[in-house]
Every structure is written in structure tokens, then in C-alpha cells.
């Protein structure tokens, strides 16, 4: 429920069909991809242009309600969920590619453009957009900007912030700000870089300028099968240590392999293996086979019992299938899934993987690992049943222990999913009171009244930046 | 310059100024770590004194952000390696480590930091991060800010803060590492930084072509549009003009890329001299980072790469008046101009007008003109006007980290 005046203002700004207040229809917006956090918004509004976003933001601000930006809702941190009776500003209708400029290798987009659609549109020009989160067929560029999304190929190409070259942003007072811009050499504070990954707490991006890359001439994809998870982790360290830079290195552990092979997504991985390592090289034809061969022999040296090389695109997609569909397949094993996102230094991988298995065993829980091994970005998935309160308590304890283990090893609590609601309470593991205070102050520098996506990222309390 | 092991805790008077290569300063302090620096900041705050954070003093004029300071604080004694695990391809060092010393140490491990901003040869690691500038390698490896993983620094309130870490993917909290990179010591005085490293490419080859200015520019543009990503596509606008194409990777990869560059439209009509290889190629590009060292007047024009020819025209007008030189990073649409030395009296007088006209032309094509270096009496705005909202956010950030203005550099555009 929202006040009548606000309802009227939103309808005037965007038209009646763009305002959702019906309780049943609001259900869809109750959570993001992480269903553990459910909060029904007071309303949802779906503007089409920057001007409509301005009008909407001003109206919600006047009503003193929280403003919650949301893309496709595929996030995994409870970031695009309206707590405290907020109104969701959805970007679903802002889905136009405004400029596709092949000469300057860039595109100007509305935030609701779906990540994979951009690469499809750029393909005829021999270009593509590098960051490739697993949800890329449904997630939006605006969401990627908010979360500073990664993806398997970020090992070689880097994450979203490297490719965002300019933004138009609506702040909580309705003002529009232009940040960066290709061709405008950076000078002054990097507010553009600061905005990327701000999880909707600073403002709403209404136009996004991104850099595109030439499509690599060719690709080689390998699958190495291991009897021990730690050996796969060691192979990753050895490949990087040898000076090779694959585009992606992804590990799927035994638990996940079996879940995938039992599902409709079966990819032909041996079910008695304890790890599958997918390695992909891309780039010019010249030299790529040498790189692939060197990586294959390093895998064999660390104990791979089998290394397969995809002979064509069909085989390549088959090798990737198990990795890409792993989350879907795990749904068969247990009704609930807690996915973590810690990152550790790459050389700590074998030790941390063993540690996670020990923690899982100690709490009697199944932990399935699928992760971006090349970046040291882990995704341990704890499988459980929410209806079992005792099991849920064990899951929470184990989850905290895994997080602590990763931080102690020099890692961090989230590599690409963001903090959102989910990891807010873990922020003190990586930041002390002074750092948290500074983070609060930076947030208030953009949003002094605290209306943008409140309740996310930072634990409550702090007065920094209020004067 | 005295090395860190023999540096005292403070130099005063002439010794201070000498250590800074003539920069006027009454005192230079050399704290040994963040806590000692925090004490200095605390004392300065209590006495109402202003401190200018520095490394080797390369960018002490603040690049237009500076205010007069009562003392300089150099991080030069903080020059140790805090953490280096080669297989992680990450490194944490004290901000005062010399860039050249770090490069040599990484070379021994077959690794490198592929960053080539202006002035890097004489700078410290902290100085490079605080200045946040980029060179040719940006297109292939990202800007400085894309390669900084963590920063430790002391605020104007004397608080020691640590953001980011030493992992390559990290989205815990807002990206303050990006905010602090390039903030020129106006928010914190950096004491340590963590950086992302890369394996040093087995082959480093630079192709050199020369010809008339229009042909060389067109050749550069053609190379920049190839699917092959070169590590540098630079043009020096001398007589003759020179096109400099740097290729890195494995031997087969580089050979194939070189063939593609030679087959690109236009390059065939240019005169090619012998390519430069390995250590010589690296040395050539390192020398190029010193292109504007010690030059009193430097301007940087940038616009979309497709407008390169117009950007060059704008830059050449300034260069002609200055009897100066022009160089371009073709892939990025960035063109730099430097004066040939101290400007003749008439040129110095007209420079303000000239630069403002050039800025208007750059902004008309949605580009930018930055005055990277100018004598303080020139009182030229470093950059074009920014929106009042951006200005407001910038001053809030400055007040947040340094409420009493203890750190001398101001917020940009203030």
C-alpha cells in the first residue's frame, strides 16, 4: 500500500499500466535469486526514460519512502528487495540499445538491456561485451553495474567496472548526473568507478556507456577430470604460475558433478570423479594450441586422470553445460540452497577447499562447490531444508565459519554477488569501525537522506557524513 | 636522492628543498609507517598546519589541485614488500617503494605491472596510484585504477584506513579503492597498496613506421581497428611523423599480429624501420613515459577515437604556439601536447586564451582538455566545468576524509 498522492504521482509520471500495487502481482518482486530474503514492496513502478525515473524518484522521495532499484531480479544477495516498505523502481521497460558504435567500440544502453542481448547485437560488427555472469541470458546491464558483476571469463578480462565508461545517474533528489564518458579522460575523483558496485545505494543508473571488445578469433576448451578436489585447485595455481592466462578456469566438485549427471542437464562428466576443471583459452589462432597443450600437461602432472579437448563448438558447449547448469541441477538434491561467494588468494585454494569440506562434515551438511577457480572466487553451496529449524541453525553456523576461514586466508566475503541484505552482518569481518564509518559517509555523500535502497550493504549505526 | 635506509625522520630548510629537487618546502617528514604518519597528521591538525603527501615528489605541485602546504610528508621510508606470492599474481608494498625498483624485482619472477603513466620512471608506487594516470597500455591491461586491489592510507583526521584487499575479485562494500586511486592525496595519504600483476609476455616487439602526418594518423587508426589488440598504438607528430605499434604475447602470437599490422590499410605505404625487440622494446616505452617529465606546460586533449584527426588539429594549434611537440595514444583518442621549454613571453600571455579556445572545441565534440602541468601563475583551470551536483559530492567526500583540510590537495574542481 502506498499513499494516494504517491500513487497519483507515479501514474501521472509513467501511466497507469506502469504502476503495480496489486498484492498478487507484487509477489513476483518479493525476493531476488536468493529466496531466503522475502519482503513485499509497497509498490512497483516501471519507468521508460531518464525523465520518468526523475519524476518517479522525486515522488517517492516526497513521500519519504525508500527507493529500491531493480533490474531482472537475478541477484544473489537480496539486494533488489524492498525492505522497510520501499517502492521498487524496475528497469524492465528501459531495454533499448541507444547507440551501437562499432568504430569507437562502445555502446550506449538503457539499464534494462539484457547482458547477452548486447553481445548478440554487437556480433555482426565483430564485437562483444566481455563480462559474462552465469545469469547473462536474463540479467540486465543496470543490475551488472549495481553489483559490479563478474563471470567465468573475468579471469582474463576483468569485471564490469573495467568496461563501464560512462553513466547517467538519477540521485535520490531527482537530479541527473553524468559520470565519465569514453573520450573524456578521467580527471578528478573517479565517481564513475565508485558508483559501479554501489548496489543501488547511491542512485539509479539510467544510461550506461560500455566498452566492447573484438570477438576473439578462436577458442580452445579443455576439461580435466580429477580424483581429488585439492589436485584440481593445485592445477589452477600451477597454470597461472607457469605464466599462462586462460580466459576462464572453473571447478565443479564431485557432489555437483553427481547432481548435474542425475539431472536433465547431464553433461557426460564421470560420476566417480571428485573434480572437473574447465579451462578455456581464447585469442588469436596463432599460439593457442601451444597454450592449451601446456595447460593439459600441467593438469596431468597434478594428477588429472583424463583431459578432454573440445573438438568443435558442440563439444565445447557440452563441456560448459555442467558448469553453467550446476545451480539448476542442485535444486534436485535439496529444497534450499545457500550459495556463498567468498574470494581467497589463488594459492590458498587447495587448503581452503579442504577446510570447507571439514566444516561441512563437522556440521553434517552437504556442501557442493562450483567456482571461478582462476580468480579464487568460491561458490560453496550448502544444501538444506529450511523447514528443519535445527538444520537451518547448523547451516548458519557453518556458513559463518566458512566465511571466517576465507577472510583469515587473506580473502574477502564476496567476490561478485554483492553484500545486499545477505552479507551485511559479515561486513565487520573485513572492515573495522573506522572503515565502516567511511563507507557510510561515502553513501551519504550521494544520498544524504538515506532513501536509496536502505538496509543494504552496511550494518546499521554510524553518523559519518551527516553534518 | 638519499635512499630510504639512510633517510632521517625530517629534513628542513635548504636540505628539504634540495631533496625535493628544488620544490619550495620548509620541511619534509619521512614517517616510517602509518601510525607514525597518523601522529604527524594529528599534530598538524592540532596546530592548524597543512601537509602535502608525497612519494618522491614527482607530482608535488598537485597537478592543479594543490594548496600551499606547511610541510611535505614523503612515504619514501615505507618501501618494503609487505606481501608477495608470485603464483597469486598479487603484491602488497609500501607506498614509498620506487616504481623502478619494484619493476626490477618483478622482472626476476617473470612478472610485470603493465602500467605506463607519465612520470613513472622517477615515481614511487604510491605516487603512481595517487596520480592515477594512464599511458598506452591502458587499452590492453586497463587503467591504474583497474589494477589496484587495495589501499591503506591515513585520513586528515589521522585515522588509518584499509580498503579492498589482495584478491582480484572483491565487491565487499563500495569501491573506495577506485575513489582513492587518482585522488592525489586529497582524501588520504597512501601508505601501502596492493596491485594486480601479470606474467611478463615472452615476446615484446615494437614496429616503427614513418611518413607524413595524415598518412601516419590514418595508419594508426587502421591498426587500432584491427581485431588484434596491440599493447600500444602511438603516433609522434614530428617531421616525419612516427607510428609506434607495440605487440606483446608469445612469439607465434606476436609474429601473426605483426603480419596483420603490416597488412592493415595504409601501413603498407609508410616507411618501416627495423622493429625493436625484448628489453629494447621495453626500454623504448619506458623512455616514452618520461616524455613530459620536467616540462612546465603540458595539456592533454581527449575525445572519441574516431575524432582523432580533429583532436590532433586542436592539439597542434597549441603546439605551434608553444614550439612544442604532440604525441597521441590512438586507441584511446588521447593527444598530449608539451611546450618546447619555458614559453616565450608573448606565447605565455596568449596561452590562457589559446587553451580556453581549444577546450571549447574539445568539449563541443564531447571531449575534454586537461591542463596536466602549468606554472602556478598561469592560473588556468585544470579541467572544464563540472556540474554543481558532482562538485557537491566531491566536496562532501573531501570533508568526510579531511574535515579540517590538513591534507593540502583540494577536492578537484574546488
For position A22, which CATH number holds?
A: 3.30.43.10
Specify whether A309 is located in the same domain as A361. Answer: no
> Which residues, in sequence order, are bridge partners of residue A58?
none
Please tell me the total number of residues recorded for chain B in this structure. Answer: 414
Fold of B81-199: 3.30.465
Average pLDDT score over residue span B19-39: 93
CA distance A416 to B296: 44
Q: B248-296: per-residue pLDDT in tens?
A: 999 999 999 999 999 998 888 999 999 999 999 999 999 999 999 988 8
CA triple A155-A159-B86, angle to 5 deg: 40
For CATH 3.30.465.10, list the domain ranges present in chain B: 81-199
Chain B residues close to A196, C-beta within 8 Å: 175, 178
Report CA dihedral (A30, A32, A36, A40) to the nearest 10 degrees.
Answer: -10
CA distance A247 to A244: 10
Residue whose cell numbers read 583469515: A408
Which residue range(s) make up the domain with A29?
4-90
Grid cell, residue B268, equals 603498407
- CATH of region B4-74: 3.30.43.10
Q: Which of B50, B30, B28, B32 minimizes the C-alpha distance to B41?
A: B50
Q: Does B257 touch chain A (CB under 8 A)?
A: yes
Nearest residue in chain B measured CA to CA from A375 = B168
Indicate yes or no: CB of A103 within 8 angstroms of CB of B306.
Answer: yes
Looking at A304, A323, A342, the residue that finishes a domain is A323
Grid cell, residue A47, equals 519507468
Question: Which is it for strands A127-128 and B90-94: parallel, antiparallel or unpaired?
Answer: unpaired
Q: Count the Cβ atoms, other than its own, within 10 Å of residue B29.
A: 21
Specify whether A221 is located in the same domain as A209. Answer: no
A103-119 burial, b at 16+ Cβ within 10 Å, e below that, comes to ebbbbbbbbbbbbbbbb
CA distance A114 to A126: 19
Q: Which of B289, B364, B361, B366 minimizes the C-alpha distance to B329?
A: B289
Q: Does A100 touch chain B (CB under 8 A)?
A: no
Q: Determine if residue B323 is left, alpha or beta; phi over 0 gives left, psi from -120 to 50 gives alpha, anything else beta.
A: left
Nearest residue in chain B measured CA to CA from A434 = B161
Fold of B203-289: Alpha-Beta Plaits (3.30.70)
**Is residue A258 in a domain?**
yes
Q: Which of A207, A33, A15 minimizes the C-alpha distance to A106?
A: A207
**Is residue A426 in a domain?**
no
Q: Which of A92, A90, A138, A148 minimizes the C-alpha distance to A115?
A: A138
Mean pLDDT of chain B: 93
The CATH number of residue A196's host domain is 3.30.465.10
Q: Residue A282 — very low, low, confident or very high, per pLDDT cuts 50/70/90? A: very high
Looking at A323, A350, A367, the residue that finishes a domain is A323
Looking at A69, A90, A111, the residue that finishes a domain is A90
Indicate if the alpha-carbon torsion angle A328, A329, A331, A332 is positive or negative. positive
Q: B138-196: per-residue pLDDT in tens?
A: 999 999 999 999 999 999 999 999 999 999 999 999 999 999 999 999 999 999 999 99
Indicate yes or no: CB of B145 within 8 angstroms of CB of A291.
Answer: no
**Is residue A133 in a domain?**
yes
The class level of CATH for B298-378 reads alpha beta
Q: Does B228 touch chain A (CB under 8 A)?
A: yes
**Is residue A413 in a domain?**
yes
Helix/strand/coil percent split, chain A, to 5: 40, 20, 40
**DSSP code, position A304:** E
Residue B168, min C-alpha distance to chain A (Å)? 6
Count: domains in chain A: 5
Residue B393, min C-alpha distance to chain A (Å)? 6
Average pLDDT score over residue span B348-359: 88
Q: Residue A463 — very low, low, confident or very high, per pLDDT cuts 50/70/90? A: low
Residue B409, min C-alpha distance to chain A (Å)? 12
Q: Would you state the pLDDT for residue A92? A: 97
Q: B115-145: per-residue pLDDT in tens?
A: 999 999 989 999 999 999 999 999 999 999 9
For CATH 3.30.43.10, list the domain ranges present in chain B: 4-74
Q: Does B179 touch chain A (CB under 8 A)?
A: yes
**Is residue A223 in a domain?**
yes
Q: Which of B350, B101, B179, B252 minimizes the C-alpha distance to A285?
A: B252
The CATH number of residue A351's host domain is 3.30.70.2740
Specify whether A350 is located in the same domain as A403. Answer: yes
Q: Would you state the pLDDT for residue A167? A: 98
Specify whether A249 is located in the same domain as A348. Answer: no
Q: Which of A359, A157, A182, A111 minimizes the C-alpha distance to B229?
A: A157
What ipTM describes this predicted complex?
A: 0.96
Indicate yes or no: CB of A343 within 8 angstroms of CB of B250.
Answer: no
> Which of A183, A188, A445 has its CB closest to that of B304?
A183
> Which of B87, B170, B368 has its CB closest to that of A346?
B87
Kindly tell me the burial class for residue B198, based on how many C-beta atoms sit within 10 Å of its own C-beta (0-12, 13-18, 19 or more): middle
Under 8 Å between Cβ of B409 and B184 = yes
Under 8 Å between Cβ of B264 and B215 = no
Specify whether A110 is located in the same domain as A203. Answer: yes
Please tell me the total number of residues recorded for chain A in this structure. Answer: 467
Chains A and B form CB pairs within 8 A to the count of: 242
Q: Residue A464 — very low, low, confident or very high, per pLDDT cuts 50/70/90? A: low
Amino acid at each position: 500500500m502506498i499513499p494516494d498522492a504517491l500513487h497519483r504521482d507515479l501514474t501521472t509520471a509513467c501511466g497507469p499500466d506502469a504502476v503495480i500495487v496489486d498484492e498478487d502481482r507484487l509477489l513476483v518482486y518479493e525476493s531476488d535469486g536468493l529466496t531466503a530474503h522475502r519482503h513485499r514492496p509497497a509498490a512497483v513502478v516501471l519507468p521508460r526514460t531518464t525523465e520518468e525515473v526523475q519524476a518517479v524518484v522525486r515522488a517517492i522521495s516526497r513521500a519519504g519512502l525508500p527507493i529500491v532499484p531493480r533490474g531482472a531480479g537475478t541477484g544473489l544477495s537480496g539486494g533488489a528487495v524492498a525492505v522497510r516498505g520501499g517502492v521498487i523502481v524496475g528497469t524492465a521497460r528501459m531495454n533499448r540499445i541507444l547507440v551501437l558504435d562499432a568504430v569507437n567500440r562502445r555502446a550506449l544502453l538503457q539499464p534494462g538491456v539484457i547482458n547477452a542481448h548486447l553481445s548478440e547485437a554487437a556480433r555482426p560488427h565483430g564485437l562483444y561485451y566481455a563480462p559474462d555472469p552465469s545469469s547473462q541470458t536474463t540479467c540486465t546491464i543496470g543490475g551488472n553495474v549495481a553489483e559490479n558483476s563478474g563471470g567465468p571469463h573475468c579471469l582474463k578480462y576483468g569485471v564490469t567496472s573495467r568496461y563501464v565508461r560512462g553513466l547517467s545517474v538519477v540521485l535520490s533528489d531527482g537530479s541527473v548526473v553524468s559520470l565519465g564518458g569514453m573520450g573524456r579522460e578521467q580527471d578528478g575523483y573517479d565517481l564513475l568507478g565508485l558508483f559501479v558496485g554501489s548496489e543501488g545505494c547511491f542512485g539509479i543508473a539510467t544510461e550506461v556507456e560500455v566498452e566492447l571488445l573484438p570477438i576473439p578469433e578462436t577458442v580452445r576448451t579443455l576439461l580435466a577430470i580429477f580424483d581429488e578436489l585439492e589436485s584440481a585447485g593445485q592445477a589452477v595455481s600451477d597454470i597461472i604460475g607457469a605464466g599462462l592466462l586462460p580466459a576462464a578456469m572453473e571447478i565443479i566438485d564431485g557432489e555437483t558433478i553427481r547432481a548435474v549427471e542425475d539431472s536433465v542437464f547431464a553433461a557426460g562428466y564421470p560420476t566417480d570423479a571428485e573434480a572437473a576443471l574447465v579451462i578455456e583459452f581464447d585469442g588469436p589462432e596463432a599460439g593457442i594450441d601451444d597454450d592449451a597443450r601446456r595447460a593439459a600437461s600441467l593438469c596431468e602432472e597434478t594428477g588429472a586422470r583424463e583431459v578432454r579437448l573440445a573438438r568443435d563448438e558442440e563439444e565445447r558447449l557440452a563441456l560448459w553445460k555442467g558448469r553453467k547448469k550446476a545451480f539448476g541441477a542442485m535444486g534436485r538434491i535439496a529444497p534450499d540452497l545457500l550459495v556463498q561467494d567468498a574470494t581467497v588468494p589463488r594459492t590458498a585454494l587447495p587448503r581452503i577447499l579442504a577446510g570447507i569440506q571439514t566444516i561441512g562434515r563437522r556440521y553434517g551438511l552437504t556442501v557442493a562447490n562450483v567456482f571461478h577457480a582462476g580468480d579464487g572466487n568460491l561458490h560453496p553451496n550448502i544444501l538444506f531444508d529450511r523447514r528443519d529449524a535445527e538444520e537451518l541453525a547448523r547451516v548458519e553456523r557453518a556458513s559463518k565459519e566458512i566465511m571466517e576461514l576465507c577472510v583469515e586466508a587473506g580473502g574477502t566475503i564476496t567476490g561478485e554477488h554483492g553484500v545486499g541484505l545477505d552479507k551485511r552482518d559479515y561486513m565487520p569481518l573485513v572492515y573495522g569501525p573506522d572503515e565502516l564509518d567511511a563507507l557510510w559517509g561515502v553513501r551519504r555523500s550521494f544520498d544524504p537522506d538515506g532513501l536509496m535502497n536502505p538496509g543494504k550493504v552496511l550494518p546499521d549505526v554510524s553518523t559519518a557524513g551527516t553534518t | 636522492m638519499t635512499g630510504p635506509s639512510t633517510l632521517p625522520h625530517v629534513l628542513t630548510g635548504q636540505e628539504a628543498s634540495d631533496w625535493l629537487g628544488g620544490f619550495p618546502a620548509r620541511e619534509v617528514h619521512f614517517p616510517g609507517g602509518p601510525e607514525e604518519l597518523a601522529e604527524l597528521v594529528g599534530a598538524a591538525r592540532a596546530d592548524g598546519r597543512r601537509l602535502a603527501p608525497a612519494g618522491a615528489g614527482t607530482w608535488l605541485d598537485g597537478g592543479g589541485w594543490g594548496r600551499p602546504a606547511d610541510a611535505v610528508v614523503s612515504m619514501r621510508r615505507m618501501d618494503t614488500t609487505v606481501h608477495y606470492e608470485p603464483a597469486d599474481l598479487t603484491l602488497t608494498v609500501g607506498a614509498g617503494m620506487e616504481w623502478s625498483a619494484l619493476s626490477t624485482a618483478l622482472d626476476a619472477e617473470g612478472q610485470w605491472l603493465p602500467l605506463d603513466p607519465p612520470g613513472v620512471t622517477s615515481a614511487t608506487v604510491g605516487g603512481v596510484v595517487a596520480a592515477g594516470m594512464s599511458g598506452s597500455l591502458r587499452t590492453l591491461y586497463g587503467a591504474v585504477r583497474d589494477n589496484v586491489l587495495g589501499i591503506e592510507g591515513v585520513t586528515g583526521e589521522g585515522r588509518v584506513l584499509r580498503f579492498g584487499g589482495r584478491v582480484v575479485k572483491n565487491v565487499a562494500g563500495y569501491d573506495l579503492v577506485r575513489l582513492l586511486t587518482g585522488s592525489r592525496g586529497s582524501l588520504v595519504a597512501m601508505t601501502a597498496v596492493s596491485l594486480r600483476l601479470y606474467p611478463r609476455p615472452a615476446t615484446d616487439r615494437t614496429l616503427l613506421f614513418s611518413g607524413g602526418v595524415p598518412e601516419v594518423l590514418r595508419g594508426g587508426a587502421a591498426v587500432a581497428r584491427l581485431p588484434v589488440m596491440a599493447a600500444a598504438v602511438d603516433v609522434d607528430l614530428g617531421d616525419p611523423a612516427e607510428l609506434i605499434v607495440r605487440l606483446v604475447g608469445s612469439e607465434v602470437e606476436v609474429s601473426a599480429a605483426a603480419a596483420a599490422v603490416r597488412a592493415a590499410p595504409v601501413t603498407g605505404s609508410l616507411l618501416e624501420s627495423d622493429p625493436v625487440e625484448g628489453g629494447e622494446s621495453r626500454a623504448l616505452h619506458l623512455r616514452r613515459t618520461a616524455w613530459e617529465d620536467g616540462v612546465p606546460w603540458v595539456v592533454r586533449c581527449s575525445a572519441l577515437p574516431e575524432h582523432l584527426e580533429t583532436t590532433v588539429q586542436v592539439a597542434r594549434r597549441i603546439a605551434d604556439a608553444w614550439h612544442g611537440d604532440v604525441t597521441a595514444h590512438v586507441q584511446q583518442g588521447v593527444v598530449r601536447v608539451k611546450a618546447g621549454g619555458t614559453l616565450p613571453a608573448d606565447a605565455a600571455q596568449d596561452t590562457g586564451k589559446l587553451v580556453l579556445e581549444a577546450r571549447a572545441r574539445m568539449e563541443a565534440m564531447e571531449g575534454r582538455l586537461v591542463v596536466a602541468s602549468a606554472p602556478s601563475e598561469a592560473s588556468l583551470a585544470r579541467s572544464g566545468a563540472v556540474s554543481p551536483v558532482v562538485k557537491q559530492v566531491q566536496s562532501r567526500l573531501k570533508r568526510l576524509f579531511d574535515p579540517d583540510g590538513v591534507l593540502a590537495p583540494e577536492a578537484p574542481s574546488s
